[in-house]
Chains A and B, each alone.
Chain A
Amino acid sequence: MLRALLSDDLPRSRWLAIVLLVILLGLAFAPFLFPGAKSLNVAAKICVFIVLAASFDLLLGYTGIVSFAHTMFFGIGAYGVAIALTRLGAGWDSVALGVAGGLALAIVLAALIGLFSLRVRTIFFAMITLAVASAFLILASQLSDLTGGEDGLNYRLPLALRASFRPFDGVNGRVLDYYLVYVVSLALVLMLLRIVNSPFGSVLMAIRENPFRAEAIGYRTVVYRTLASCIAAATAALAGALLALWSSQTNPDTTLSFDIMVDILLMVVIGGMGTMYGAAIGAVLLVLAQNYLQALVGDRWLLWLGVAFILCVYFFPTGIVGRLRRR
């Protein structure tokens, strides 16, 4: 049962299993273990960023391509829901429409960028995604009629997700909203785990290790890379939709900015490239650091994380998970 759920990709280390279990249970009971609006907000952010980092890891760790447009897809998902809720009113039908629209746009854009730039060289992909993402960021802040510009959008959530909704004692709409985020995030992570452990995932890893050889065996690397890019984009868009459904506001800073891209990179590399579990651990570490470490270490915590990032790439390419598994 557990094997089937985890797609036969067990933690393979007692400590890693314990850490993951703590994360899983801690998040599962977060509304009761850590009451308060701030800690619930942090827990929801952790869920969303685990999905976002895991989907980025599909590209970086499993396929070996670097995309700087991952936040663009995240933002597309978030703005899809936000625009639908703003324009069409706070109902579940507008949520569904927003999610569908965001997903479609993300997949089409990812396919276009992939077919355009993955054909030539993977280093092109990194540069072109950077250019497209920055153009998109500017576009989002310029089209203020649609996106609310720099200020973003504030909108009402469906009734069942509002704080005023109280189905029974001790549980309000925010808690329901949190569990929506939690369950969907968990399902998405398990889905990604399934994908990377499938034959398709093996082809991606083969491409990462040696693209020429993979091509020679008969796999069209462009197609596989583009597919991986589309799956990652779709998952990132869903993560964005979750964030929009959680926070009832969407703006460029929280969804599209380059700072978030840097955060995702840090999460995946420090947690461990090429392992979905690493992305989860990295996301937990970084979101906690952002929210609580600032008080302890001061403003320059990003400096130390940057140094840790470089050291990780040099000395521990498999990150924290690799370390834990080696024992």
Chain B
Amino acid sequence: MKRDWIPLLLIPLLGVAAFPLVGSPASWVTLTVAGLAMGLMIFVMASGLTLTFGLMDVLNFGHGAFIAVGAFVAATVMLALGAWMQADSIWLNLAAFLPAILAAMVVSGALGLVFERVIVQPVYGQHLKQILVTTGGLIVAEQLLKLVWGPDQITLARPTALRGAFLIGDIAIEKYRLLAVVIGLLVFAALALTLSRTRIGLLIRAGVENGEMVEALGYRIRRLFVGVFVVGSALAGLGGAMWGLYQETVTAGIGAQVIVLVFIVIIIGGLGSVGGCFVGALLVGLTANYIGFLAPKVALGSNILLMALILLWRPQGLYPVAKR
């Protein structure tokens, strides 16, 4: 199969184009790292959504609920382990951070399972009802969040080891952003390897391409889909936890806040394509940071503009999935 490299080239192109506009190399590096970190966090949240769409033609407007739940669960665990978070040892910090994101993933994944069973399952194949019902699920979930955690925002301090920045010359790189880049790349690598090297990945890719054929060969695509949905929800929870720590506050509206970026990313990438989602997320993250630096007032508008430009160029997104 011929690889399509052009969309991938957009990322360095964008970086190079922004360089003369930003001016100083130090701010450029800072902005680029920030953009990559933001993009990768969005990618973590968006990957599950785009896969469930590709596999079962299900678009979950309630995806934001998993992001919010992840953020709240992680915040609760981290606040409970507050002493370890504030300790001056990286190992104690990690001992608080890792359980927090694990708990976020487990709870979000479990919620995803319930959501799939109760909300999504009865409306397969009906787009209108899917949009309505999953939006209804989002309304209910948001209210439940307020019921459990109260309506106020939670302030969250980063663990000691992740505060501050590395200084290389006059270039400052925030430690937490570096961690976000590492986690995001790990998730991408894990997803890419699973999809391209394992049997389950093969089935998922085949299912995205032609679900009926996979079923005719005797595989239960339904079960596969539930698995993908749960993993996608867990990843949304992970992304939400990371995002909450990135913003250092968690509110019930966090899901609604991020879901817009997530949608833009999966539209740009081409609905159903993980690779496209990755490229789209990085483009969105970088654009948001460069424009946020150059012209703060139009930062969110810039993402819409980016989406419009890419859709003018490729109306189905960067990597259209063949079937649809």
Query: Would A122 and B304 count as touching, CB distance under 8 A?
Result: no
The residue of chain A having its C-beta at the shortest distance from the C-beta of B307 within the complex is A131
In the complex, chain B residues 255-300 whose Cβ is within 8 Å of any chain A Cβ = 256, 259-260, 263-264, 266-267, 271, 297, 300
Q: Mark B126-157, 1 if CB is under 8 A from A, else 0.
A: 01110111011101100110110000000000
Query: Complex formed: what's the CA distance from A314 to B136 in Å?
Result: 11
Check: B311 CB closer than 8 A to any chain A CB.
Answer: yes
Query: Counting CB contacts under 8 A, is B125 at the interface?
Result: no
Chain B residues with CB under 8 A of A324 = none
Q: How many whole Å from A319's CB to the nearest CB in chain B?
A: 12
The 0/1 profile, CB within 8 Å of A marked 1, for residues 27-49 of chain B is: 00000000000000000000000
Contact between chains at A131 and B122 (CB < 8 Å): no
- Given A127-B263, A131-B264, check contact A66 B315 (CB 8 Å): no
B87 located at the interface, meaning its Cβ lies under 8 Å from any Cβ of chain A in the complex = no
Task: Say yes or no: is A38 at the interface (Cβ < 8 Å to chain B).
Answer: no
Q: Are B304 and A314 in contact (CB under 8 A)?
A: no
Is residue A134 contacting chain B, with contact meaning CB distance below 8 A? yes
* Cβ-based interface call for B160 (8 A): no
A139–B301 touching, CB < 8 Å: yes
Secondary structure class of chain B's binding surface, majority of residues: helix
| Assembly CA distance A306 to B65 (angstroms) | 14
Q: Which residue of B lies closest to A128 (CB)?
A: B267
CB pair A135 B301 closer than 8 Å: yes
A310 within 8 Å of B by Cβ?
Answer: yes
Contact status A310-B304, CB under 8 Å: no
Tell me what chain A mostly uses at the interface: helix, strand, loop, or mixed. helix
Asked if A130 and B263 make an inter-chain contact with CB atoms under 8 angstroms apart, the answer reads: yes
Pairwise interchain contact B143-A306, C-beta atoms closer than 8 A: yes
What is the CA–CA distance of A266 and B140 in the complex, to the nearest angstrom?
A: 12
Asked if A300 is an interface residue, CB under 8 A from chain B, the answer is yes
Our pick among B119, B266, B303 for the contact of A310 (Cβ within 8 Å) is B119
CB distance from B320 to the nearest CB of A (A): 10
Within 8 A of A (CB), among B88-129: 119, 122-123, 127-129
**Pairwise interchain contact B132-A269, C-beta atoms closer than 8 A:** yes
* B128 with A64: CB separation less than 8 A: yes
| Contact present for B133 and A124 (CB under 8 Å) | no
* Nearest residue, chain A, Cβ from B259: A130
B324's nearest neighbour on chain A, judged by CB, is A121
Are the C-beta atoms of B147 and A265 separated by less than 8 Å? Answer: no
- Residues of chain B with a CB closer than 8 A to A121's CB: 324
Interface string of A136-152 (1 = CB under 8 A from B): 00110011000000000
Tally the A-B contacts, defined by beta carbons under 8 Å: 90
Distance to closest chain A CB from B9 (angstroms): 24
Task: Closest B residue to A142 by CB, please name it.
Answer: B297
**Which of A119, A128, A130 touches B315 (beta carbons < 8 Å)?**
A119
Report, as a range, how many residues of chain A touch the other chain. Answer: 35 or more
Is A34 part of the binding interface, using a Cβ–Cβ cutoff of 8 Å?
Answer: no
Q: For the complex, is A116 an interface residue (Cβ under 8 Å from B)? A: yes
A258 with B119: CB separation less than 8 A: no
Cβ contact of B304, chosen from A60, A131, A258, A302, cutoff 8 A: A131
Q: How many residues of B contact A (CB 8 A)?
A: 39
Chain B residues, Cβ within 8 Å of A143: 297
Contact assessment for A310 and B128 in the assembled complex, using a CB-CB cutoff below 8 Å: no
B234 at the interface (CB under 8 A from A): no
What's the minimum C-beta distance from A306 to chain B, rounded to whole angstroms? 4
A135 to B284, CA, bound (A): 14
B304 nearest in chain A by CB position: A135
Please report the C-alpha to C-alpha distance between residue A143 and residue B297 in the assembled complex, in whole angstroms. Answer: 8
- Complex: A135 Cα to B261 Cα, angstroms: 10
A303 partner, pick from B123, B144, B300, B316, beta carbons under 8 A: B144
Q: Which residues of A contact B21 (CB under 8 A)?
A: none
Q: How far is the CB of A259 from chain B (nearest CB, A)?
A: 10
Which one of A120, A131, A310, A313 contacts B140 once the chains associate, using CB atoms below 8 Å?
A310
Q: Is B208 an interface position by the 8 A CB rule? A: no
| Contacting pair A258 B143 (CB below 8 A) | no
Whether A303 and B304, one on each chain, are in contact in the complex, defined by CB atoms closer than 8 angstroms, is no
Do B140 and A138 touch (CB < 8 A)?
no
Asked whether B59 is an interface residue with its Cβ less than 8 Å from the other chain, the reply is: yes
Q: A123-B59, A134-B300, A135-B301 are in contact. Are A313 and B132 (CB under 8 A)?
A: yes
A residues in contact with B266, CB < 8 Å: 127
Asked if B14 lies at the interface with its beta carbon under 8 angstroms from chain A, I say no
19 A-B pairs with C-beta separation under 8 A:
A66-B132, A121-B324, A122-B127, A126-B61, A127-B266, A130-B260, A131-B304, A134-B300, A135-B301, A143-B297, A258-B256, A262-B135, A265-B132, A265-B135, A303-B143, A306-B139, A310-B119, A313-B129, A313-B136
Interface residues of chain B, those whose CB is within 8 Å of chain A, are 59, 61, 119, 122-123, 127-129, 131-133, 135-137, 139-140, 143-144, 146-147, 256, 259-260, 263-264, 266-267, 271, 297, 300-301, 303-304, 307-308, 311, 315-316, 324
Query: In the complex, given contacts A116-B308, A127-B267, what are 17 additional A-B residue pairs having Cβ atoms less than 8 angstroms apart?
Result: A65-B128, A66-B128, A121-B324, A131-B267, A134-B260, A134-B300, A135-B301, A138-B300, A258-B256, A269-B132, A302-B143, A303-B144, A306-B136, A306-B143, A307-B140, A310-B137, A314-B133
The 3 closest A-B CB pairs, nearest first, are: A303-B143, A306-B139, A306-B140
